[in-house]
Every structure is written in C-alpha cells, then in structure tokens.
Structure 1
Amino acid sequence: MTTLFSFDIFDTCLTRACGEAKNTFFLLAERILGEGSDTSARNDFALIRMNAEREARRLCINDENEEITLNDIYKFCDFTSITNSSNAIIMQTELDIEKEILLPVDKIRNEINLLVNKGFSVIYISDMYLPKTFIEEILVHHGFYVNKNIYVSSEIKKTKSSGHLYNYIANKRHISKQHWLHTGDNYNVDYKIPSRMGIKARLVNNDYIPYELQGKRMMTDGTTPLSGYAFTLSRAIRLSLPDSPNNIFASTFIAPMFVPFVYKILCDSKARGINHLFFIARDGYILYQIALEMKDHFSSIDLSYLYASRQALYMAGLEHVSPEQIKKKMPHLKHKRIDGILYELHLESYDYSKLPLSGLDGFQIIDLLFQEKTFIDALKKKYNEQNDYVLRYFKQEGLSNGNCAIVDVVGSRRCQSAINTILSKNNFPKVYSYYFEVTWSRITNYESYFAANYQENVIKSPYYNRASQPLYEQFFAITNQQRAIEYQNTENKIVPMFEPDFINKDYKQKVFEANSTVCTKYARYYIKVYNNNCSITNIQVAQRIFAAFLYVPRKEFLKAIELFKCTGSGEANEVLLNKKSLLYVIFHIKEFFRWPEGQLVYSSGYLYPIIRYILKKRLQKIMRL
C-alpha cells in the first residue's frame, strides 16, 4: 500500500508563464535595464546570468555538494559593464519576477489536496537553486498544502538526478521505497531514476499541445525567447485552470488573439493622445474586461462600456429622413421583410395591412412606405426622439468630449459612421475607432480607424471567413450582456432599452464565464512583458493557428463549440455542428457549407483523414460557393 506521495515542483505543481527557466533572465534584463533598453544589452545581460550559473555548477558542485544556490550563482555574475544596479538588487528582482510569473497546475493541486484530505502523507521534491523558503511561500500562495514537507536540493545539497535525494528522504522519513509513489514531469529524474531505485513513479504530461507549440515556434524570431511569450502563456493559463473544453479552447485561441489586440490599442491610444475608450456592446464586453485588467498600466486612459447596437444607432445616424438615406446607411434592410424593416426603424406597431407587399424586396418596401404620409410622420417623430436621446446618452457618457475612440470586434464601420454623423451634425468632435477585424462590406470613407485584420487579406479562402466571423463575434465575444435596441429617458437619465434574449442562457453563461476567466487571467500575466512591437505579430500568428484549426480541426476542441449557434437578431439561425451520422453528412455535405471540415471531424472522428481524401473535390467545390 502506498503511504507516501511525493511531487516534483517546477513544471509539475508550478509552471512559468514565460516557459523555460532561462526566459526569466530576459524578463530580468528588461526589468533592470528598462523597457526601452537596447536589444543587444538585454541579450548580453541574460547571457551573463546563464554563464554565471554554468560557472557556479562547474566550480561549486562536488561529491559533497551536488547543488548550487542562487547566492552561489550571483558570486559569478558581473553586470558592471551593463548596469549600475548591485547584484543584491538584481538577485532580489529575479526572485520577484519568479513570484510574479509562476502559476499553479490546477489538476495536480486538486490531486494533492484530495490526498491530504484522505490523510495521506504528501511531500514536495525539487532539484532547484532557489531557496526553500521562497518555494514554500509560492506553493502556499497558490493554494498547495505545505507543512514542513519540502525537500529542495539547494538546501540539502543532494539531487534527484543522482538518486541521493531520494535516499536521503527515505532515510529521513523511515519509509520503505515500495510504499512510495513519486509524480513528476521529467522522464529521467522523476521516472527512470526513482523506478530503478524501487520507488513507484508516475510521469505527468504538462507539455505544450500542438497549437501552442506551433504558435511558439512561429513567433520565435532569434532576437529574444520572449517573442513566443503569447503561446508559452497559453499553456500556463490552460494548466492553471480546471481541465474543461471551454477553458482549453479559450486559452488556445481566444486569449492569444484578443489580449494582444487590446494591449495594442491601449498603446496606440496612449501614443495618439486618446484619453477615453468606449467598448461597444455587446461584442466589445470581453475586450472591455481585458482592458480593465491592464488599466493600471494605462492610467491616462478612461475605459467605458457603451450600450449601443446597429438598431440603436443606425436610424439616429441618418443625416435626414429619406428613403435614400435609409438605403445608404442601412443597406442590410434590402434583404428584410416588412416586419424586420419596421423593427429596425422602431415602428413595430405601424399598420401595413393594406399595402401591396407581395414580391417586393426590402428597398422596394421602403419606397412604398414613403408614399404613406402616416408612415413618414411616425418615422420623423421617432427619428427626432431617438436622435435627441442618443445625443444625450453620448454626452452623458462622455463620448462627445473629444479625444475618444470606440472599440469593436468585427465591424463594417457603420456604427462609427452613425456615431460620427450624430456628433458632427451637433458640432461635437468625431471619434476614432479600433476593430479586431473589418469586413469585406465595410464603409470606405475618409474617417480614420485601426484594424488588426482586414477580412479580404486575412486568409484568402472564403471557407475560412464563413466559419471565422460568427465565431469571432458570437462565440469568442459571447457575453451575458443584453442587446440595446433604443434609448429612453428615465428620471432625467438616458438608459438603454434591451431586446429579449432568446439564446440558451445557461449555455451562454457557461461559455462567457470560461472566456472571461481565461482572458482576464491571461491579460494579467501578458501585461508583465512590455513588448508592443510583438503584439500585432501575436495576433497574426494566433489567427493563423486558428485558421489551421478551422481547416483541420482536432475533435477534442470541437467539444467547446458543439452547442454553439450562429444567431441573427433575437433568434437562432444556424448551428455550426450538427449531431448527424457520418453517412448523412457525406451524402448531404452541402447542407454544412458554413463549416464542412468541422462537421466531418465532428461526425467521423479518427476516420476524418480518409473521409476528407474521398470528399476532397466536393469540399473544394463547396468552399468556392
């Protein structure tokens, strides 16, 4: 019977946000030398630290002393040619950085707490130069049970790699090795050596998953290992949270796109002198949450969440009431029926029963409506009311104060156009805008804006865009916030009126909580590495990784989105993944034009490569539709 359970610490219980231990030295160089320091100086600083550790090991390790300490290392560090900071200050800064970037591995922590609650003995073992008291403090901070049960090579002067640390513990605790189970991530020191000594050993895999590894490799540029930080952080965040499909999906795809984007726009806003960012409801809510995590680093910029939507703004954004203006500013109405048109114009109760509407498209219906004086009068009244309310709402929230910008996920820029029309015709400054992606059908006018992605340039395949846009807008940016459809005056305050939410609220809340938890935690650690030059590259690489997923999805990742539905205004329109048999999908593949690859993997699993080869030509034809 096993009576003693031991656990390795680094990369088993704790993992670094920056990946390997040596990457810490590049963070240390930036912290000591400053954000704007020379790249070569930072690399030389890190090299001095690495060489000092090698020299300390060469000169200090012997038969009696198998491990070095952090103090030993710093005896061989000479930074005087690069900085005036003392070794004592630099060493303490290294400890501070380690404390900041270490995250717990959630499943190991839960396992340890369960063992402790059942009354088993649990100990921690590490080959590490860091002080025992420091490691103990980190473990306690992250919720691990610790009770004078840590064995660190830097204190005991024996290591796991020699096997002597295992023998030391066995003698110290008077434990039979056959009653001892050790868990760790290193095949040699945590599995092979203890197994050879008669200790039961278990190897855990906390390594990178393929998408993380692909992103890390694509980001490596030779100047600094921190260039791949966005994806080493993905792994650390994934391991630090419960092992759920939604957490894994969000840490792999959503956070590496959205967090660098928010960081980029905050840096850009600061450079432009923009002092207030407004995140547009509802898609912008996740971006707003990320920005709040970074607020302390951008104290000159105010952050607000603006209740707005196409329906709430477009009519008020007309320059005047006319069929031409409606067609220009609201082109989507061409494909609407009469009820949809009246809904968008806030005239749902208008009686159209006597109008000959058969066979007319949306624009023809608008022309017909403008032949009715009662309609024109009702529309002008509603237009004047909403125009007044929207302007008052903008003034109330501070959007009319100047030096402002709006932020959205995916857009055609019509919201920016509507907002600026309302502001400019009332002699207020226009707003700048930031978009994660702008669509093919966007407005191409002179108003300035920033976009991380232009839909026509991102990935040339139409297949990619058909699947990506609804996922960006409605899954990546899913929220528990309601959709504002117009405004009203309540006790001298303009407040939004909301549309009823028809989507499964339990599912929506579950996905939102996962996305929000992952992205805000990711942002908390991302901000620790100041590298604005990398942020746009991070977005581009993350997007390529996501494109690779869309083209050849891994089935385990589909679990996160199997209940997801592409939605229109207030109603469910289309599911991306149907619970259909493989045979049905093969013979009805055109039904799944939105994402045929995803549907095939979802229905076929490991048979997918064979099925894809058989259907190759049919898939190519569908992708060209």
Structure 2
Amino acid sequence: MKKIYSFDLFDTLVARGVNHPKDIFTIVGAVSKVNYRFIFFKLFSFRKIRVFSEKLARFISKKEDIDIYEIYKIINFFIENSKDILEVEIKLELHLIKPKLENIEILNTLKKQGEFLCITSDMYLPFDVIKKILNENNIFVNKVYVSSSVGLTKSSGNLFKFIADDLDVDLSQIVHYGDNIESDVNVPNALGCKGIHVGHAFHKNSNGFLDCFKSPIQNDVYYKIGYELCGKIAYVFSNNIYNNIKDNQNNLIFGARDSYLFKFSFDLFFNNEINYKTYYTRISRSLVYLPQCYYSNSYDVLFYETMSCENFFLRLDLECPSEFKGKSAWKYKNDIILFLRNNEEFNIQLKYKSSNAKTFLKENGFNRDLYFIDLGWKGSIQNSLDLIFNNELNVKGLYFGTTVNDKFKRGFAFNNKKPFRNYFYITQSLALFEFLFTEPEQSLGAVKVVHNKISPIFTNDENLNQINNRRKIELGAKQFLLDFFEFNNMFEINNEDINRSIQPLIYNHTMVVKDEIVSAFLNSSHSIGFNGSLKANLIEYSKLSIKGYLTAPWKAYFMHDLRKKSKIKYFIYRVFFHNVFFFIFYEYIKFFFRKIRALIYG
C-alpha cells in the first residue's frame, strides 16, 4: 500500500524572518505609503486594520478558510490604495521567507526514494504565491493543497479528507509532517493519518518595526544579540550620522574600539554616492592622556578622577614617590604638580610620547576638520583632542549618547541625558551595553616607533574567550546589516517608524532580564579603567542593599534577583531607586560633589 507524504509549509519547510507572523503587517505599514480614506483611520496602525480585516473576512465567509484577496476587499473600505499595499505584502512575504534546511532534507530524502509528496498548508496566500515560494526555496513536490484555494483547513481535518479523496487513498496512508502540535499532529492522528511533529515555531510579540526582524540563528545567544540588537542600533545610529553631517569636506573618524559596527554600517549604507573620507582610528583615553598635558602646557588636566597616588603615577609610567604613597592624588594635587615640573626625565618622555601620539593621530585622519564618532557619554576623548590640536582643526562629536551639555557634542539616543528614559535604560546596564559594542580586539594602550613607523601597542586586558564571544556578536550584527541592506534596496522605509522603534528595542535588551543573557554573560567582565586597569563584571550577585543596588553593574538584574527574595523590598526599590527620577537625581548629586571637590583642591 503506497504512502502519501504530506508536509506543512510555514514554520516547517520555510519560515519568515520575523518574531511573529503579524510582524509582516507592522513592516508593511513601515514600508508603504498608506492612503487612508478618512483622517480618523490614521489613529489606527495598518497592522490593526489588517488584523481586524482578516477577522471580519473570516467571520462573514461561508468557507473554512479565505484568501488574501477577500481580506483586502475589507481593507479597501479603510484604505484608498489597497491594491498597492496588497502587492507590497506579497512582495514582503516572498522576501522574508527563508528555507528550513533540516526539514527540507527530510523531504528530499523521501523524494530520492521515489515517494509521493504533497504540501498541505493552512494559509491565506494564493496558490500562485505558494508555488513561487516553493520554487524559490528549491522545494519540489507532486501536489500542493492550500486552504485558501480549497476552502478547507487542516485544523478542521477536512483538508486531509479532501487529499485522501483527491488521491483516492485511505487516510491511514497519509503521513503528515508539521510544526503545529494540534493541526499537524493531533488532528491527523485522530483521523487515522500519522502525524509527525518536526520542530516548534516559537513566536513572540515584537515591539516596533526594528524588533520584528528575527535572527536566523537562535541557539547562539551572542550571534542572536548581535543580530537583534547591535546591528539594528548600528544602522539607526549610522543613519543619524548621515543626516547630521553637512558635506564631505570633513573627515569622519570612528573611534576604536566602540564604533567599529557604526563604521561598517555607515560605509555600507551611506558612503556610496558621496565619497566621505572615513577612518577607523585606534584611540583611547590612555593614548591622549599625556599629550593633552603637553600641548595644553597644563598638568591640571591629568587630574579628573578620584584615585590614589599609586594609580596616578602608574598612569604616568612613574614609580610613586614614598611621600605620596597611600594618599589621595586630588588632596596632594599641588604637591604632585610641583614634583612633575621638576622631574626632567619625565618631561623629556612627556614630549617624546606626546609627539608620537600626535603624529599617529595625524596619520589616521586627524589632519583636517572632522567629526569624531563614538559610543559616547561624557566625550572626554574629544576634550583631550581639543587640547592636543588647539586651533589646528575643529572637532565635532557625534555620539550614540551624551551626558554633558556641549554644543560641539551631539548625542542620538540621549543628548545631555535627554530623553531621560533612554539614558536610564542604558546607564543602569552600562558595562553590559558597552561590552556588546566593543570590537573583538584588545584595547589600545599607547603607540611607539617601530622601524621608523609609529605603531599601536595593545593591552592584554581580557581573555580570549571573551573576545571570541564578541566575534560572534560581530557576526550576528554584520549579518543583520547585510540583510537589512538588501531589504533597504527593495523597500522604502519610513524613518519615523525606525526612530519610534529605538526606545522599545533598548528597553527589551537592557530592562528585561532573560535567562539566556544571564547565563551567557555571568562570568564576563569589561575593561572600564584607564588603560584597562579596572574591570567591571557585566552581571554579578550583589548584596541586596541600597549600596548593592548603586554598585550593581546591571541594575535590572539586581531588581530581578531582589524580586525573587522579597516582593516588598522589590516594590520599595522600584518606587525609590529603580526609576528615571532617582537616576537623574543621583547623577546631579555626583556632579555637585565633583564641583565641590574641584573648588576645595583646585
């Protein structure tokens, strides 16, 4: 007795590259110019109208299933150009569908054995579109049964009965493969067919246009977060850079290590028609630390953080004098400056190292007016560059976020901490966020002359395993950018939809604690000190106290852990500490403290 091998199509042999099937409607709304018949209809998103129209079309239909044309007859009541939007939706479906190779291999094995194969799908897309999907994904079968054409569904069991009658076989001769435990397994089994469960379609709700796009690799958390966060942030920020630069007369300096994805995205999307001069320059606070002192002729600039004298002299590559050991550099600032002024050997080295650093910078893009692009926050490197180059060139900063009020520094996600919500989301997880965007290389320590050429010297500030994990993040991020570049060439995207999706994208990856993220980054750290001297754990089990909260590297995780221990404490901390208002208040307290310290110690 011959067997009929039936395969479900969507989420079995092919899958959309989105988190939820309805994300297609969100994307259609973002890439289409929808002409609503009445202004009132604009209050609803296209997605809501599309979902409502499908429900209504199913309600009034006398068949078990409908096709997309019946849905758009309803949509036509709301939208004038419904025919154009229908074409966009079908085009989008075809573009976003990718093969599930492991299940196609099962089908191909049966095909080689000479078995009879058919597609059995509950789907509103018309028969000709289904055939095109099969051809484009190299899926070849004997027959295709689609609920939209037959008017019967798998979920009712009637589509399986129709297939048995059409092929003149008994239901027991049908073997069906599919991902849905009910319509692909339980229903056919109840009819006497053999239902085989292959895979599982995991759908989650997306929040905004960019959040819709799903990583093609889900079992590697590093690749996944690269694809679903870092690549998307890189695109949006590079788009913002493009919109903020006036012409190609200025160099664009992308500072290593935190802006490598921004440069990749900018060059890919925006550096084609206009030839911008872009550089990826290895620069760090340690590289510009001494040159800012030499070229400004001021030792005061060396004092900008609270530190011990031992750490201060370590930065200068000097042994700490005995009279300063165990003391605060700020408190003994004037005495230290006097010591440095009288140290002839130090000042010779200061001039030599500063000259090398400036030459290195000039050779790497710092030779005319420029935009300096980095992840951001205070923009301290830009301050040092201003001192080093003085009036030789103008430096304007373009950052993902800034915490200072400076007309020459512009932040995208937050500018001078505004909007405060974005500032809060990122700074409460600062070490983790910075780690995700750090190039998978060691950080720059200094430069030195090697064979008459100035070359960078890298620090050994983290282990190879961490760097390899960031390489996976890089792969995921760059794959998103390549995929989105292809998408961008096919569809015209509404910038408003892109910008609106930034805040929920950041929120979902910084404020929502996921077990896979905790497991992946629990034993990782990030270099936050000068020249990689200090480490910050990305995630750690903090003492459940106010001090523990303030020092926690990822405060959302602290709250996640606190909620397990005490819901009352969790509520109290949520009200008084873990919110935008406290973060801003705490930031201004720290700012006030620094001002007082500067007044006291000079």
Structure 1 Cα separation of the partners of residues 278 and 422 of structure 2: 36
Kept in 2, the 8 Å contact 1:184–1:202? The answer is yes
1:230 aligns with 2:238: no
1:331 aligns with 2:304: yes
Structure 1 Cα separation of the partners of residues 179 and 170 of structure 2: 19
Q: Which moved more, 1:280-289 or 1:593-602?
A: 593-602
Kept in 1, the 8 Å contact 2:258–2:375? The answer is yes
Kept in 1, the 8 Å contact 2:224–2:476? The answer is no
**Out of 300, 311, 317, which is 2:286 matched to?**
311
Q: Name the residue aligned to 1:384.
A: 355
For 2:218, the aligned partner's letter is P
1:110 aligns with 2:106: no
Q: Name the residue aligned to 1:6.
A: 7
CA 1:78–1:357: 2 relative to 1, 3 Å: closer
Alignment of 1:237-256 (within 5 A): 237-238=214-215, 240-250=216-226, 253-255=229-231
CA 1:146–1:301: 2 relative to 1, 3 Å: farther
**Out of 511, 526, 540, which is 1:566 matched to?**
526
Q: Name the residue aligned to 1:594.
A: 552
Structure 1 Cα separation of the partners of residues 45 and 535 of structure 2: 57
Q: Which moved more, 1:565-574 or 1:16-25?
A: 16-25
**Out of 545, 549, 556, which is 2:508 matched to?**
545
Structure 1 Cα separation of the partners of residues 549 and 577 of structure 2: 10
Q: Name the residue aligned to 1:160.
A: 154
For 2:326, the aligned partner's letter is G
C-alpha displacement at 1:185, in angstroms? Answer: 4.6
CA 1:415–1:534: 2 relative to 1, 3 Å: farther
Structure 1 Cα separation of the partners of residues 174 and 568 of structure 2: 54
Kept in 2, the 8 Å contact 1:277–1:407? The answer is yes
**Out of 19, 24, 29, which is 1:26 matched to?**
29
For 1:26, the aligned partner's letter is G
For 2:102, the aligned partner's letter is N
CA 1:124–1:392: 2 relative to 1, 3 Å: same
Structure 2 Cα separation of the partners of residues 576 and 54 of structure 1: 46
C-alpha displacement at 1:283, in angstroms? Answer: 0.9
Q: TM-score, normalised by structure 2?
A: 0.72
C-alpha displacement at 1:311, in angstroms? Answer: 1.7
CA 1:566–1:483: 2 relative to 1, 3 Å: closer
CA 1:94–1:622: 2 relative to 1, 3 Å: closer
C-alpha displacement at 1:412, in angstroms? Answer: 1.5
Residue correspondences, number: 556
**Out of 318, 321, 324, which is 1:357 matched to?**
324
Report the secondary structure of 1:362's partner residue.
coil
Alignment of 1:195-344 (within 5 A): 196-199=190-193, 200=195, 202=197, 206-209=201-204, 213=205, 216=207, 228-233=208-213, 237-238=214-215, 240-250=216-226, 253-255=229-231, 257-269=233-245, 277-295=252-270, 301=276, 303-318=278-293, 320=295, 322-327=297-302, 331-332=304-305, 334-335=306-307, 337-338=309-310, 341=313, 343=315
C-alpha displacement at 1:337, in angstroms? Answer: 4.4
Q: Name the residue aligned to 1:100.
A: 95
Kept in 2, the 8 Å contact 1:113–1:145? The answer is no
Report the secondary structure of 1:558's partner residue.
helix
Q: Which moved more, 1:497-506 or 1:49-58?
A: 49-58
CA 1:368–1:321: 2 relative to 1, 3 Å: farther
Kept in 2, the 8 Å contact 1:274–1:405? The answer is no
C-alpha displacement at 1:325, in angstroms? Answer: 4.5
C-alpha displacement at 1:379, in angstroms? Answer: 1.3
C-alpha displacement at 1:14, in angstroms? Answer: 1.6
1:435 aligns with 2:390: no
Q: TM-score, normalised by structure 1?
A: 0.70
1:321-357 CA-to-partner distances (Å, cap 9, x unmatched) read 5444433xx613x5254566454x5xx3x5x476633
C-alpha displacement at 1:589, in angstroms? Answer: 8.9
CA 1:610–1:534: 2 relative to 1, 3 Å: same
Kept in 1, the 8 Å contact 2:28–2:85? The answer is no
Report the secondary structure of 1:316's partner residue.
helix
Q: Name the residue aligned to 2:465.
A: 506
C-alpha displacement at 1:375, in angstroms? Answer: 1.8
Structure 1 Cα separation of the partners of residues 422 and 410 of structure 2: 25
C-alpha displacement at 1:477, in angstroms? Answer: 0.9
CA 1:261–1:319: 2 relative to 1, 3 Å: same
Structure 2 Cα separation of the partners of residues 115 and 588 of structure 1: 59
Q: Name the residue aligned to 2:446.
A: 486
